[in-house]
Amino acid sequence: MQKSGKLELTWVGKYEQKEIEPRILVENPELSYGDQDTGNMLIHGDNLIALKALEQDYAGKIKCIYIDPPYNTGARIDADGKEVGYDDGLEHSIWLSMMMERLIILRSLLSDDGSIWISIDEKESHYLKVICDEVFGRNNYVIQVTIKRGSVSGHKAINPTPVQICDLLLVYAKNKEEWEYKPVYKKREYDKAYNLFLENIEDDYKKWKIISLKDAMANKHLSIDEIISKYPAQVIRFAQPDYKSVGQETRDLIDLSKKNPNEFFLQKREGYPNIYLLNGNRILFYKDKLRIIDGKCVTAELVTNLWDDMNYQGIASEGGVTFQKGKKPESQIKRIFEMASNDGDLVLDSFLGSGTTIAVAQKMNRRWIGIELGPHCYTHSKKRIDGVINGEQSGISKAVNWQGGGGYKFYELAPSLLVPNPKLPTIKQINPEYTFEMMCEAICKLEGFKYKPDGKFQGKSSEQRFIHITKEFVNGEYINSLLANLGEGQSLLVYGTKIQSGLRLPDNIVVKKIPKDLLDKCTFESEVK
């Protein structure tokens, strides 16, 4: 990566990032579960390498990404949530590089109308935002959400400094002009400001009669919940319009209403709710505050950038797996998916942890990819999603009427394609763990070809450009046999382990040596530091 010359955050090691080897993914059929044709993927391995492995096939295809990366707080948390094993205390510059590398690939995976949602706390949020401004573009910043995750109690109540009870959610679009936000509503208590009742709403509005809500409840022998449920269009309140923010027609009607006390006035609006006025005040109807949430008609309000209704109590064991710290409630991920995706869309989480994201995705009919490095990929993420497929009923299950079903394929990252020769460590050789088919797929990925063996060629990058990989001796006769399979205007890249020296080639064929010509493609290491 080169310095761009634009306003950006810099740190030690930022421009020393290595080109990552795009590893292949190897399915473990014994760990795959349920319906194998869903396209869902659970991947165990380093998420940077795994993301690179996905990039070629999934670039521009992910609608929504949610990640909950290490907060760089100094805490160390194991698979059971105990503060010992999950390395969350990276030196600051290392943490910045870690995030930058992954965000660059995550952006490439997003569809043009996609978005990324990142959980973080206040200690790194400002640095993360500057990095995201650089990767996604400042113009694609959407919002920062504050999420209340606790209350002041116990030791917090005597804390000598301000008590931190919130997490943050940083939101960016791939292309803000193409991204469509879907408004979401949350349940709230009855709004006591609505304390009036329209007795005769079925009559002409000019003849309306208004009484107190208490009198209406007494007359009809109904409780507050019952009258709201039965007569939501008749429960009302008055509100003073913002005179400066409304159009001239509305202003004129407000003025007329003030000059004619106790008379009702109506402004009909095509495509918008009609405006009713009395004494210069607008009449608001309680029916406009009702929404269907989780299958029930309830009092609701629009969700803003303050989420104070997330229930963190008892989530440590949600989904049938225990994860004491860092776990997010299913309701939180559900809200994100409601705002940023639709049924059938592909979503991704590359810091999967306990598996909340894929559990919610499965229940909400989203296709998904989950990546986790630690052992809790097996003990938590897999266990949890298997339970979901079997119909477990915690979290959002009842809200979405989850009955079970679906499935996924379980993948491991293949080791590096090239490894040191055991006798000559400075020399690279093909990894002996690789089968010929694995080698072919890896070379295709390195060269940007779609691995699709058809008996003649192993892959193609277009209808005109193909790749052929062989262990046989490549000479003039071998090249001529390949030419017979090429059509007009088609070209071929040939990779071989044994190649005739001084080989003359037609213009539409290029020959490369294994492993010599692979070495300049990227860094071949067992682990990416």
pLDDT in tens, the chain (529 residues): 455 556 788 888 888 877 889 999 999 999 999 998 999 999 999 999 999 999 999 999 999 999 999 887 655 444 444 544 445 556 788 889 999 999 999 999 999 999 999 999 888 899 999 999 999 999 999 999 999 987 766 555 556 667 778 999 999 999 999 999 999 999 998 999 999 999 999 999 999 999 999 999 999 999 998 999 899 999 999 999 999 999 999 999 999 999 999 999 999 999 889 999 999 999 999 999 999 888 888 899 999 999 999 988 888 889 988 886 778 999 999 999 999 999 999 999 999 999 999 999 999 999 999 999 989 899 999 999 999 999 999 999 999 999 999 999 999 999 999 999 999 988 999 999 999 999 999 999 999 999 999 989 999 999 999 999 999 999 999 999 999 999 999 999 999 999 999 999 999 999 999 999 999 888 887 555 4
86/375 Cα distance (integer angstroms): 11
The residue behind tokens 């290392």 is 94
94/262 Cα distance (integer angstroms): 69
CATH of 418-518, one of 3.30.1070, 3.40.1350, 3.30.310, 3.30.70: 3.40.1350
Query: Residue 8 has what DSSP assignment?
Result: -
At 476, list the tokens: 């003039």
C-beta pairs of 262-271 under 8 Å, 24+ apart in sequence: 263/206, 264/205, 264/206, 264/208, 266/205
**What one-letter code names the amino acid at 187?**
K
As its CATH architecture, domain 25-184+305-413 has: 3-Layer(aba) Sandwich (3.40)
C-beta pairs of 229-235 under 8 Å, 24+ apart in sequence: 229/297, 231/197, 232/285, 232/286, 232/287, 232/290, 233/198, 233/201, 233/285, 233/286, 233/287, 234/197, 234/198, 234/199, 234/201, 234/285, 235/194, 235/196, 235/197, 235/285, 235/286, 235/287
CA distances 360 to 276, 336, 349, 425, 461, Å, are 43, 10, 11, 47, 35
The number of beta carbons lying within 10 Å of the beta carbon of residue 384 is 26
497/512 Cα distance (integer angstroms): 9
CA distances 503 to 469, 477, 478, Å, are 17, 10, 11
DSSP 456-519: S-SEESSSSEEEEEEEEEE-HHHHHHHHTT--TT-EEEEEEEEE-TT----TTEEEEETTGGGT
- Same CATH topology for 25-184+305-413 and 418-518: the answer is no
CA dihedral over 295, 298, 302, 305, signed as positive or negative: negative
Alpha helices for 43-165 (secondary structure H): 47-58, 92-109, 125-136
pTM score of the predicted model: 0.86
102/66 Cα distance (integer angstroms): 13
Q: What is the pLDDT of residues 179-224, one digit of tens each?
A: 999 999 999 989 999 999 999 999 999 999 999 999 999 999 999 9
For the chain, domain boundaries: 25-184+305-413, 196-296, 418-518
CA distances 323 to 78, 83, 382, 458, Å, are 9, 11, 14, 44
List phi, psi (to 5°) of 247: -75, 170
